[in-house]
Amino acid sequence: MTKTIEIKVLPKDLHNADFIKGRAAKKAGLKADNISDWRILRRSIDARQRQPFYLMRIELTSAGQLPAEPVISDNFKDVSDCEPVLIIGAGPCGYFAALEMLELGLKPVVFDRGKDVRARRRDLKAIQQDGVVNPHSNYCFGEGGAGTYSDGKLYTRSHKRGKIKKALQLFVEHGAKSDILTDAHPHIGSNKLPGIVANMRATIEQYGGEVHFDAQVTDLIIENKVMRGVIVNEKDEHFAEATILATGHSARDMYYLLHRRGVKIEAKPFALGVRIEHSQSLIDRAQYNQPQREENLPAASYSLTTQVKDRGVFSFCMCPGGLVVPAATAPGELVVNGMSMSRRDSPFANSGTVVEVRTEDLAPYAKHGVFAALELQKAVEQAMFNYGDGSQRAPAQRLTDFAKGRMSKSVPDSSYIPGLYPAPLHALLPQGIYERLSAGVRVFGKKMNGYFTDDANVIGTESRTSAPVKVPRDRATYMHPEIEGLFPAGEGAGYAGGIISAAMDGQNTAKAVLRWTVEG
Ligand SMILES: Cc1cc2nc3c(=O)[nH]c(=O)nc-3n(C[C@H](O)[C@H](O)[C@H](O)COP(=O)(O)OP(=O)(O)OC[C@H]3O[C@@H](n4cnc5c(N)ncnc54)[C@H](O)[C@@H]3O)c2cc1C
């Protein structure tokens, strides 16, 4: 007999397999000794009551072994002699498109402007320690894309977009812990992701695909509205019938290039704001109702949202036990983001806290046409940079001072390695954004005990939340409506927001390419 049941488990019993099996058997009306196999299907935390507990969905059987999950890479085939498809960008979208092609019988040829994941690390160190931003290799550009040196959160709200489980399974087959298949809020961490990404590359190459680094696509070969190929590093031509454009939301030069080449692009709403950092212990106390987080509970997270003057104000990309990192992609700008290690054990908790920016809010930038949102993004990032000393030290303010619009004399300790200095963020942000953030953080203070405190840092700028430009595509074919053979995909084209949704969009785009190239 096989049954699926749900049980509650206290954090202290999280790793006690005998206890969990016994309790599951009892709930299923079976004797523990008769259970021949069992597994956890889903695990989440319920912290609404005074004593937090894990809720586990468990499948158990008294009839032999539970069926094993299929191994996706068993379906990969040698694609060396198959139809080549160019993929611009080795982020989650590009790499998952490439892996999908190994199943579909297409040969992925990936170009990335940045370096392989190991070499990229040196450039991250240069940003952190010397304030030097390499425009091709940074927290957004390079192997694995923006998803590599991140928090590695793997949850998405886009359940319709594809099979999340398949994407998670591929992470596991390339080195992630199998917990991510069952956790309600799976996460990998910056210390593990680079190895996983390198394993994915090894798979792509092993089955006959190609991955090229230091290979910036500098031009598109378009003839009579047909995409013929790309030019790499201003000299090397590569041709194929289909090209997937997966360059992420920070490749501004690609948006300009598309515009110059007459490829239709559109302005897109996005969100802009700041990153707010608290101590992790404060967030734990608020979320777990305990003076101190008990053993086996992860660093607590939060998700806060409100409406102020008809615009959404919300927390975004919350990194429990994480670090704030400098995520600029060019010299002369100040951009921050968040990441964490797999153990999420830093003493800080940070999240982007942003205001939605709609097309009608972009009137002051209207002269820039489709680049209105991008120019606003750039202007704020540059204003934050120019206020400082030319380094990647970031402007900051105590949360309560920020809300009141007054300078802080000093700012609290932070995880941000280049350092913070007090600055009038209330004056550096556009007025409409500042006013809504100022009201929004007060509302958040009412929703979460201790949130609105002068011991929290507000740090500028959280501006790379999503693409400020959309590259249109047909809903059914995934192809650009005017350029045959061009498949815009992932976050940069406006079809994803996060690692998993970008990965799934890559997989779906690869299938769309197959339908077009091979199946006609
Ligand atoms: C610090 C940080 C932390 C994050 N944390 C999380 C998280 O925890 N969870 C989550 O879901 N999301 C997170 N994100 C967002 C997530 O990383 C992105 O949503 C995701 O990576 C988008 O995938 P993509 O493949 O569409 O684009 P990207 O990951 O941006 O990849 C684009 C790639 O294209 C390359 N490229 C750009 N221009 C060119 C060119 N002209 N020629 C060749 N190559 C080019 C770039 O080098 C890059 O590698 C984080 C982002 C950052 C920056």
286-318 per-position pLDDT tens digit? 999 888 999 999 999 999 999 999 999 999 999
What tokens were used for 410? 């000093």
Task: Indicate whether residue 255 lines ligand 1 (CB < 6 A).
Answer: no
Determine whether 262 is exposed, middle or buried from the number of CB atoms within 10 Å of its CB (0-12, 13-18, 19+). exposed
Q: 140, exposed or middle or buried, with CB in 10 Å at 0-12, 13-18, 19+? A: buried
Q: Is 496 left (phi over 0), alpha (psi -120 to 50) or beta?
A: beta
| Best CATH choice for the domain 79-266+470-517 from the list 3.50.50.60, 3.30.870.10, 3.40.50.2000, 2.30.110.10 | 3.50.50.60
**161-180: average pLDDT:** 90
Give the model's pLDDT for residue 241. 97
Best probe residue, ligand 1, of 112, 263, 459 (max atoms within 8 Å of C-beta): 112
Read off the pLDDT of residues 322-350 as tens digits, 9 standing for 90 and up: 999 999 999 999 999 999 999 999 999 99
Q: Does ligand 1 lie within 6 Å of residue 247's CB atom? A: yes
Task: Give 86-102 pLDDT, tens digit per residue.
Answer: 999 999 999 999 999 99
What pLDDT, in 10s, does the model give residues 416-425? 999 999 999 9
Q: What is the CA radius of gyration of the chain?
A: 24
To the nearest whole percent, how much of the chain has pLDDT over 70?
A: 99
Return the pLDDT at 156: 77
Written in H, E and C, the secondary structure of 57-104 is: EEEEECCCCCCCCCCHHHHCCCCCCCCEEEEECCCHHHHHHHHHHHHH
Domains of the chain by residue range:
2-61, 79-266+470-517, 269-462
Distance CA 153, CA 326 (A): 18
Q: Which of 121, 197, 317, 466 to mutate to test the pocket of ligand 1 (most atoms within 8 A of CB)?
A: 317
Alpha-carbon gap, residue 222 to 229, rounded angstroms:
7
Task: Convert the pLDDT of each residue in 48-71 to its tens digit.
Answer: 888 999 999 999 999 999 999 889
Residue with CA at minimum distance from ligand 1 atom 10: 498
Q: Is the CB of 248 under 6 A from ligand 1?
A: yes
Q: Are 350 and 415 in contact (CB under 8 A)?
A: yes
pLDDT at 155: 81
Binning pLDDT at 50, 70 and 90, where does residue 147 land? confident
Helices (H), 448-493: 490-493
* Spatial distance between the Cα atoms of 324 and 461, rounded to a whole number of angstroms: 11
Q: What length is written for the chain?
A: 520
Instruction: Give CA separation, 72 vs 76, 77, 100, in Å.
Output: 8, 11, 10
Q: Given this model, what pLDDT does residue 118 score?
A: 95
Kindly report the protein residue whose alpha carbon is nearest to atom 44 of ligand 1.
Answer: 112
Which pLDDT score, from 0 to 100, does residue 159 have? 64
Per DSSP, the three-state class of 195 is helix
What is the rounded CA–CA span in Å between residue 189 and residue 338? 11
Residues 306-317 as b/e (b if ≥16 CB within 10 A, e otherwise) read: bebeebebbbbb
362, 267 Cβ separation under 8 angstroms = yes
Q: How far is the CA of 466 from the centre of ligand 1 (A)?
A: 10
Strands 226-232 and 236-239: antiparallel
Does the beta carbon of 213 lie inside 6 Å of ligand 1?
Answer: no
Q: Residues 394, 334: contact at Cβ < 8 Å?
A: yes
The number of the ligand 1 atom at minimal distance from the alpha carbon of 492 is 26
Q: Is the CB of 189 under 6 A from ligand 1?
A: no
**One-letter identity of residue 229:** G
Check pLDDT > 80 for residue 384: yes
On whether the CB atoms of residues 505 and 475 are closer than 8 A, the answer is no
Q: How far apart are CA 242 and CA 143, in angstroms?
A: 22
Atom of ligand 1 nearest to the CA of 500: 11
Count of CA atoms in the C-beta half-sphere (13 A) of 327: 28
pLDDT at 157: 72
Contacts of 223 (CB under 8 A, 6+ apart): none
Fold of 2-61: Alpha-Beta Plaits (3.30.70)
The predicted structure's pLDDT at residue 321? 97
pLDDT band at 158 (very low <50, low <70, confident <90, very high): low
- pLDDT of res. 49: 86
Instruction: Report the alpha-carbon distance of residue 381 to residue 135 in Å, rounded.
Output: 15
What pLDDT is recorded for position 228?
Answer: 98
Q: Which residue's CA is minimally distant from atom 51 of ligand 1?
A: 146
CA distance 15 to 19: 9
Atom 12 in ligand 1: which residue has the minimum CA distance?
498
Residue 160 predicted with pLDDT over 70: no
State if residue 230 touches ligand 1 by the CB under 6 angstroms criterion: no
Residues 6+ away with beta carbon under 8 Å from 204: 95, 98, 99, 102, 108, 110, 210, 211
Between 448 and 161, the more confident residue is 448
Confidence (pTM)? 0.96
Average pLDDT over residues 477-504: 97
Spatial separation of the C-alpha atoms in residues 445 and 285, rounded to whole Å: 14
147 alpha carbon – ligand 1 mean position (Å): 5
- Is 316 a pocket residue for ligand 1 (Cβ < 6 Å)? no
Q: Which residues, 6 or more positions from 228, have their beta carbon under 8 angstroms from its beta carbon?
A: 221, 222, 239, 485
| Mean pLDDT taken over the chain | 95
The share of the chain scoring above pLDDT 90, in percent, equals 93
Residue 162 has pLDDT above 60, yes or no: no
153-176: average pLDDT: 84
* Ligand 1 pocket member 352 (CB < 6 A): no
182 pLDDT band (50/70/90 cuts)? very high
* Per-residue pLDDT at 460 exceeds 80: yes
262 pLDDT exceeds 80?
yes
Q: Check residue 69 and give its pLDDT.
A: 86
Mutating to test ligand 1, I would choose from 117, 247, 324, 465 the residue with most ligand atoms within 8 A of its C-beta, which is 247
